[in-house]
Structure 1
Amino acid sequence: MPEPSVGDIVHYVSYGTPGGEYGKECRAAVITAVVAGTDRGKDEHGVTTAPAVVSLAVLNPTGMFFNEQVAYEGSAEDGGTWHWRADD
Structure 2
Amino acid sequence: MKPTVGRIVHYVSHGTPGGEYVSQCRAAIVTATDPDPEDVPEPGQVFAGLAVLAPEGMFFNSMVLQDEDSHAGGTWHWPEREGS
Superposed pair shares fold, TM > 0.5: yes
TM-score class normalised by the smaller sequence: 0.7 to 0.9
Structure 2: gaps (5+ residues): none
The alpha-carbon deviation at position 36 of structure 1 amounts to 2.8
Partner of 2:64: 70
TM-score, normalized by length of structure 1?
Answer: 0.79
Aligned equivalent of 1:79, options 67, 73, 76? 73
- Give the residue type in structure 1 aligned to 2:22: G
- Compute the RMSD of aligned alpha carbons: 1.9
The alpha-carbon deviation at position 11 of structure 1 amounts to 0.1
Aligned residues of 1:14 and 1:24 also touching (Cα < 8 A): yes
The alpha-carbon deviation at position 52 of structure 1 amounts to 1.0
Aligned residues of 1:51 and 1:73 also touching (Cα < 8 A): no
What is the alpha-carbon distance in structure 2 between the residues aligned to residue 7 and residue 57 of structure 1?
10
Aligned residues: 78
- Residue 60 of structure 1 pairs with residue 54 of structure 2: yes
TM-score, normalized by length of structure 2?
Answer: 0.82
Partner of 2:4: 5
Structure 1: gaps (5+ residues): 42-49
What is the alpha-carbon distance in structure 2 between the residues aligned to residue 19 and residue 62 of structure 1?
19
- Give the residue type in structure 1 aligned to 2:12: V
- Give the residue type in structure 2 aligned to 1:69: M
What is the alpha-carbon distance in structure 1 between the residues aligned to residue 76 and residue 19 of structure 2?
21
- Give the residue type in structure 2 aligned to 1:33: A
